[in-house]
Amino acid sequence: MMQDKETPMDTSEFENDFGTIEVIERESVEYEDLSKLFITESGNYSKQFAKIYTARLSELSKVLAEKCRKKWKDVKILQLAELADSEEERSIVIGTLFKNQQWKPSILKQLCEDDQLPLPAARDDYCGDDDQVFLEDDTSRIKLVGRNVKREETITGVVCAVLGHQDASSAFQVEDWCFPGCLPQEKRDSETKGKVVLVSGLELANVPENLELNLLVEWLCGMIGDETTQKEDASIVRVIIAGNSIKGNSDTHANMGLLGGKALDVAAAKEIAIGTKRMDDLLKDLAQVCCVTVMPGQHDIATFMLPQKPLHPCMFPESRRYNSVKGATNPWMGRLGNRLISGTSGQPIDDLIKVSGANNHSPMEWLEKTLDWRHFCPTAPDTLPCYPYHEKDLFIMKDCPDIYFAGNMNKFETKLWKGDDGQVVRLICVPRFSTTKTVVLVDLKTLETQTVSFGTG
């Protein structure tokens, strides 16, 4: 049997009528929730979203200017407005990428939904043959051309530096690229023992009660396996639930009419109530034996725009009584011992795949690129909804994590990424539990990962 205590792992014995029983205490580590980095004090919607790009460019351009001087030596850094006086001269420009795509979501689509007009067919991506790539700064915009411009890898919202020259058609011929790069990683004075479990996509409102979920709970509670297995399970110091715990899809009522829409609303409300109750019961069981961090997801009952605020504790009347259950933002960052962990519930990676159209790129590759771009959600606010920040961009990375994950992916992927400055980051794509019946176990000391599957197939 297991007990959750804020003390290092210890074993002791006591006797009863059945003989000697060994009590296994779960390991624990110091935990710091850094969700405050993504929480604003007030929700002011009167500002323009363009301010986000201004703040993003202002902060990251300083980093890029320094990198450009090291990479391209004495080549001049110019603003876009200065290129007219330096035609055909080799130069560097720093700005924000913009990809003009006709298939991106627009307000016209929302108006069609409101007026119950026929909607265009849903697309898996927003890419077309006529997409064009531009670079913008505070002064103007210029079209990027040349064989080094790969539209599939060009993402709106990414701040970068470009080496090249302006040609006779007033376009910029690209020779090379430079991105902000991953942040330096702080040195570790000591090792952190213990393991963390990453799980996402429980979708309790959409998936009926099943054996796989019960096995997961029993495993985390130390009710499965022999004594050796239970001692290994006792090394789990925290469970991180990365979004879409209650729902895994959104309900659309377009063209259903008033009565049809109301019927669906009633059914959806009942479904959500059932899923929320099941989530509360699950958290209550886990809270008694383990520490849990709960992140919201795209389809959960939370704020729609990023960063999503923590799920409200009033939704979970039973589990809210336990201090071992902590709500978190999405994106989220936290510290376990001396390990820094950050990640999202998957929306930024899904959106990058849609806007790129690069089917040959895996989610893991996009997760790695966000480290190089130094940004959690580069497509916000263009195609990913977010709050209209105007003083600073909260999604710019401030620290290099040890573990960086994306939830609700189709399958498990992982990579031990190593940076040019000695950074070591464990990248993880966490699979949906509702479809894969799989969770990810990460060793905080070695950063080694393994999957634990509860599938019966």
User: Which CATH number does the domain housing residue 237 bear?
Assistant: 3.60.21.50
For residues 267 and 320, which has the higher predicted lDDT (pLDDT)?
320
Q: What is the 3-state secondary structure (H, E, C) of the chain?
A: CEECCCCCCCEEEEEECCEEEEEEECCCCCEEECHHHHCCCCCCCCCCCHHHHHHHHHHHHHHHHHHHHHHHCCCCEECHHHHHHHCCCCEEEEEEEEEECCCCCCHHHHHHHHCCCCCCCCCCCCCCCCCEEEEECCCCEEEEECCCCCHHHCCCCCEEEEEEEECCCCCEEEEEEECCCCCCCCCCCCCCCCEEEEEECCCCCCCCCCHHHHHHHHHHCCCCCCHHHHHHHCCEEEEEEECCCCCCCCCCCCCCHHHHHHHHHHHHHHHHHHHHHHHHHHHHHHHCCCCEEEECCCCCCCCCCECECCCCHHHCCCHHHCCCEEECCECEEEEECCEEEEEECCHHHHHHHHHHCCCCCCHHHHHHHHHHHCECCCCCCCCCCECCCCCCCCCECCCCCCEEEEEEECCCEEEEEECCCCCEEEEEEEEEHHHHCEEEEEECCCCCEEEEECCCC
Q: Are residues 173 and 188 in the same domain?
A: no
Q: Are residues 401 and 313 in the same domain?
A: yes
Q: Which of 259-263, 292-296, 339-343 has the lowest mean pLDDT?
A: 259-263
Rounded percentage of the chain residues whose pLDDT exceeds 70: 84
CA distances, 289 to each of 3, 22, 239, 336 (Å): 6, 16, 11, 18
Q: Are residues 442 and 334 in the same domain?
A: yes
User: How confident is the model over 60-91, as pLDDT tens digits?
Assistant: 999 999 999 999 988 999 999 888 887 778 99
**Among the three residues 144, 178, 212, which one is the final residue of a domain in this structure?**
178
Please tell me the distance from the alpha carbon of residue 233 to that of residue 3, in angstroms, as a whole number: 12
Total count of domains within the chain: 2
Q: Residue written as tokens 């009033």?
A: 314
Answer whether residue 7 shows pLDDT above 70.
no
Q: Are residues 103 and 193 in the same domain?
A: no
Q: Are residues 169 and 188 in the same domain?
A: no
Q: Are residues 123 and 147 in the same domain?
A: yes
Q: Are residues 97 and 114 in the same domain?
A: yes
Domain that holds residue 320: 27-41+184-453
Q: Are residues 133 and 193 in the same domain?
A: no
- From the list 94, 90, 87, 45, the residue with the least C-alpha distance to 65 is 94
Whether residue 7 is contained in a domain is answered as no
Interval 409-415 mean pLDDT:
96
CATH of the domain at 161: 2.40.50.430
Answer whether residue 252 shows pLDDT above 90.
no
Q: How confident is the model at residue 271 (pLDDT cuts 50, 70, 90)?
A: confident
Q: Are residues 296 and 355 in the same domain?
A: yes
pLDDT at residue number 364: 96
Whether residue 12 is contained in a domain is answered as no
Give every CB contact of residue 27 below 8 A, 6+ residues apart in sequence: 8, 9, 193, 194, 234, 235, 236, 237
Whether residue 95 is contained in a domain is answered as yes
pTM: 0.88
Answer whether residue 42 shows pLDDT above 60.
no
Answer whether residue 442 shows pLDDT above 70.
yes
**Among the three residues 154, 178, 202, which one is the final residue of a domain in this structure?**
178
Whether residue 391 is contained in a domain is answered as yes
- How many C-beta atoms lie closer than 10 Å to residue 74's C-beta? 5
For residues 375 and 360, which has the higher predicted lDDT (pLDDT)?
375
User: How confident is the model over 50-59, as pLDDT tens digits?
Assistant: 789 999 999 9
Whether residue 15 is contained in a domain is answered as no
Q: How confident is the model at residue 22 (pLDDT cuts 50, 70, 90)?
A: low
Answer whether residue 255 shows pLDDT above 50.
no
**Among the three residues 145, 178, 211, which one is the final residue of a domain in this structure?**
178
CA distances, 347 to each of 105, 250, 278, 296, 400 (Å): 15, 14, 24, 11, 20
pLDDT at residue number 295: 96
Q: Are residues 291 and 332 in the same domain?
A: yes
Whether residue 394 is contained in a domain is answered as yes
pLDDT at residue number 333: 97
| Encoded tokens for 451 | 């999957």
User: How confident is the model over 151-178, as pLDDT tens digits?
Assistant: 888 999 999 999 999 988 889 999 999 9
Q: Are residues 238 and 153 in the same domain?
A: no
Q: Are residues 213 and 143 in the same domain?
A: no
Whether residue 161 is contained in a domain is answered as yes
Interval 405-420 mean pLDDT:
95
Q: Which of 17-31, 121-135, 264-278, 354-368 has the lowest mean pLDDT?
A: 17-31
